[in-house]
Amino acid sequence: MITKIIGTGSSQGRRRVSNQDLEQVVETSDEWIHSRTGISSRYVTEGEGIKAMAAEAAEKACIQAGISPKEVELILVATSTPECCFPSTACQVQGEIGAEGAAAFDISAACSGFIFALHTANSFLVSGTYKTALVIGADELSKLVDWNDRRTCVLFGDGAGAVVVRAEDDGKFFSAVGSDGSRGEILTCVSRSGGNFITKKQPKMGFIAMDGQEVFKFAVKKVPSCIEEMLKEHQEKPEDIRYYLLHQANERIIAAVAKRLGEPAEKFPMNISAYGNTSAASIPILLDELNREGKLNRGDKIVMAGFGGGLTWGSALLEW
Ligand code: ACO
């Protein structure tokens, strides 16, 4: 059996925040943010939260796939920003959309999460365990950034993207993921730490902290090499790929990856200007946009690749 995407959907936080809006919050400028990252605005939640965004994206993907949520047998949500430790965001989505028969759980691999979730769903589909799955990338990083820290708060946005995948008889699907826990300190967010029985201290939430230049170096090295290795392993040629959909963290990272792969910039669509970095949601939001704009044709080969905290990375190739 081969994994095929049969529907896509997305949603984002209700409030649009422009770079000019952020100039009122921290000492920054539209010029600095745009020239360093390619970001002009982002969307943030206004209380609707991750459950609502993920469920909306999932419902849209089911409608486009022409299936009832009741046909979904597996729901995976890649997220670093669940509302609670349990129930998982995947279980919350299951309840919201009425996918009664599905098994549901979350996957935590930061900005690479969507690729890890797709990789996991593929294993279930190829093994014959399930036939139809919902794979969702959703993050609400606005609740984890320090809004006084200009080095990080300008980078992120909130959103969700979903795909319905189905085990089919023909097509192509390959994926590969990797991790390097020894370098995790360059991109961290400590959650609920410091609670202690002896001192009776209450736990505190941490903020996102990042060594931007180290993350940049990691991304421009790891993303091209993991794509090249995957293509080589499956005897695929870079020039036959229609689109490379990369995690939307920084326009300059995407341009550098295109250059290292020797592929034209037009094959690397971007929407970071409007959304910022939506972490696990960025790849499926971009895929949904291309799909709804009619830019994907049957048989197109699409590569997706992500990188993020952990450190983690991953890539997937599929035939549309
Ligand atoms: N506005 C104005 N000035 C700023 C801002 C801001 N928002 N942020 C930082 N600066 C200042 C710094 O204080 C510093 O000033 P100083 O020289 O007086 O100390 C100066 O700008 C340069 O700071 P750097 O951090 O060195 O800036 P850099 O050119 O590296 O750009 C950036 C930072 C955009 C984060 C870059 O390192 C980068 O793109 N890194 C990749 C990491 C990434 O994209 N992370 C996203 C999340 S991780 C993920 O998705 C996997």
Distance CA 115, CA 166 (A): 16
Residue whose CA lies nearest to ligand 1 atom number 46: 249
* 49 and 27 Cβ atoms separated by less than 8 Å: no
- For 222: left if phi > 0, alpha if psi spans -120 to 50, otherwise beta; the answer is alpha
Q: What are phi and psi of 67, to 5 degrees?
A: -120, 160
3-state secondary structure of 194: coil
Which mutation among 17, 35, 151 tests ligand 1's pocket best, with the greatest number of atoms within 8 A of CB?
151
3-state secondary structure of 80: coil
Distance CA 84, CA 143 (A): 13
Q: Please tell me if the CB atom of residue 213 comes closer than 6 angstroms to any atom of ligand 1.
A: yes
Distance CA 87, CA 84 (A): 7
Quote the ligand 1 centre to 306 CA distance (angstroms).
Answer: 20
Quote the ligand 1 centre to 213 CA distance (angstroms).
Answer: 8
State yes or no: cis peptide before 311, omega within 30 of 0: yes
Each residue of 166-224: pLDDT tens digit? Answer: 999 999 999 999 999 999 999 998 876 666 666 767 767 778 889 999 999 999 999 99
Q: Please tell me if the CB atom of residue 316 comes closer than 6 angstroms to any atom of ligand 1.
A: no
Quote the ligand 1 centre to 223 CA distance (angstroms).
Answer: 20
* 26 and 147 Cβ atoms separated by less than 8 Å: yes
Catalytic residues: 111, 247, 277
Mean pLDDT for 244-258 is: 97
Q: Please tell me if the CB atom of residue 277 comes closer than 6 angstroms to any atom of ligand 1.
A: yes
Q: What is the pLDDT of residue 142?
A: 93
> H or E stretch including 77?
strand 74-78
Residue whose CA lies nearest to ligand 1 atom number 38: 212
Measuring CA to CA, which residue among 115, 107, 102, 60 is closest to residue 82? 107
* 58 and 74 Cβ atoms separated by less than 8 Å: no
Each residue of 113-127: pLDDT tens digit? Answer: 999 999 999 999 999
3-state secondary structure of 45: coil
Measuring CA to CA, which residue among 183, 205, 206 is closest to residue 308? 183
Residue whose CA lies nearest to ligand 1 atom number 51: 308
Q: Please tell me if the CB atom of residue 234 comes closer than 6 angstroms to any atom of ligand 1.
A: no
Quote the ligand 1 centre to 277 CA distance (angstroms).
Answer: 14
* 67 and 28 Cβ atoms separated by less than 8 Å: no
Quote the ligand 1 centre to 151 CA distance (angstroms).
Answer: 5
Each residue of 267-304: pLDDT tens digit? Answer: 999 999 999 999 999 999 999 999 999 999 999 999 99
Each residue of 44-91: pLDDT tens digit? Answer: 999 999 999 999 999 999 999 999 999 999 999 999 999 998 999 999
Distance CA 54, CA 278 (A): 13
Q: Which residue has the higher pLDDT, 197 or 10?
A: 10
Distance CA 63, CA 10 (A): 12
In 154-278, which ranges are continuous DSSP H helix? 212-233, 251-261, 272-275
Count CB atoms within 10 A of the CB of residue 129. Answer: 13
